[in-house]
Structure 1
Amino acid sequence: MIRPIKKVTAQHYQLFLNADPSRKVVNSYLNRAYQFELVHDETLLGVLLLIDTRPETIEIVNVAVDESVQNQGLGEKLIQFAIDWSKQHRYHTIEIGTGSTSFAQLYLYQKCGFRVVSVDHDFFVNNYDEPIIENKLVLKDMIRLKKELH
C-alpha cells in the first residue's frame, strides 16, 4: 500500500539517503515535498517525494526501495503512483532527474514513459560535497526526464 507519510522516521530518512546521499540536499526539499511511503504489513519498503516546481509541473525528487526488496517491481509501482497522483491533482507535466551513471533508473523511468529532455552538466560535482561513485564511475551529470500527463 502507498500512503502519505505521517511522520518521517530514521528508516524513512535512510531510504531518502539511499536515493540521494547528501543530507543537505535531502533537507533542502524534504519539508516542502508531498511525502509517500510504500508499506506491506506495516513494514516500510519504499519512499517517494514530490515537489511543485512550476505551475502545473511536479517533480519526483526522491524515490527509493529498500535494498532487500529491489528488482520486484516496487520502484515501478512508486513511479506509477506518482504519475497517477499527479494526474488526479491536475498536473500537466511530471519530471525526474537522475545520475548519468544510474543505468537501472534511466531504464525504469523510460519504461514508465519519461523522455530525456536535457543534461545538467556537472550537477553532482557542483552540488555535492563528496564525489559519488556509481557503477564504478564518478557521477558528474544529471539527466533530466519528463512525461506529459494529458
Structure 2
Amino acid sequence: MRIEKISDKDSIPYHLLLLADETTDAIDKYIHDSGIYTIKANGGESIGVYVLRQVNKDTAEIKNIAVAEAFQNRGIGRLLIDDAIARAREAGYREIIVGTADTGTRQLRFYEKNGFEVFDIKKDFFISNYPQPIYEHGIQLKDMIMLRKQI
C-alpha cells in the first residue's frame, strides 16, 4: 500500500472524508487549499485519506483523517499519521496540529498514542460551525479538542 497525493484531476474522496467530518459543506471550506492524500488497497480502491493544510510557516494541520470502516484497526491510521508528519517535516513545518470532538475518546487516545498533546479547546465549535446538532454516541458535540506534536 502506498500513500499518494491526489491531483486536481482526481475526484475528491468525499465518501471517506465524510467519515470524519459531518457535511460536504464543512469539507469544502478547507479542501480546496489543502493537500489530499489517499492510501489504496491492492485492488486500487481508496481505503484511507488525510488532508494536510498550512496554518502558518511553522504549523501544518491535519484537517481530516479517515479509514474505511472495513479497514479500521489494522494500523492504517498510524500509517496515515506517520506520512502526514513526514510530509509536514519535509515541507519545513516544525509543528503539526489536529482537532477532534470532545466526545471522541477513541480519537483522543489515538492521537495521544501517536505523540500528540492537548493544547487548546475551541469552546462551542460544533454548535457554532454546523447548522444542525451533531451527536456521537448519543452525546451532542460541543467543543473541539486541539492537539499538537513538535516535528
Q: TM-score range by the shorter chain?
A: over 0.9
The residue aligned with 1:8 is: 11
Structure 1 unaligned regions, length at least 5: none
The residue aligned with 2:127 is: 125
The residue aligned with 1:21 is: 22
Letter of the structure 2 residue corresponding to residue 3 of structure 1: E
How far apart are residue 138 of structure 1 and its match? 0.7
Correspondences of 1:45-124 after superposition (within 5 Å): 45-124=47-126
- For the 8 Å contact 2:14–2:24, the answer to whether it is kept is no
How far apart are residue 135 of structure 1 and its match? 2.0
The residue aligned with 2:136 is: 134
How far apart are residue 125 of structure 1 and its match? 0.3
Percent of residue pairs bearing the same amino acid type:
36
Of the candidates 32, 42, 45, which is equivalent to residue 43 of structure 1? 45
- Note the aligned Cα RMSD (angstroms): 0.9
Q: Return the TM-score normalized by structure 1.
A: 0.94
- For the 8 Å contact 2:62–2:97, the answer to whether it is kept is yes
Which structure shows the higher helix fraction? 1
Structure 2: distance between partners of 1:146 and 1:29: 19
- Secondary structure of the residue that 1:19 maps to in structure 2? coil
How far apart are residue 25 of structure 1 and its match? 1.2
- For the 8 Å contact 2:58–2:92, the answer to whether it is kept is yes
Structure 2 unaligned regions, length at least 5: none
Q: Return the TM-score normalized by structure 2.
A: 0.94
1:145 and 2:142 matched: no
Structure 2: distance between partners of 1:106 and 1:38: 22
Structure 1: distance between partners of 2:78 and 2:107: 10
How many residue pairs align between the two structures?
147
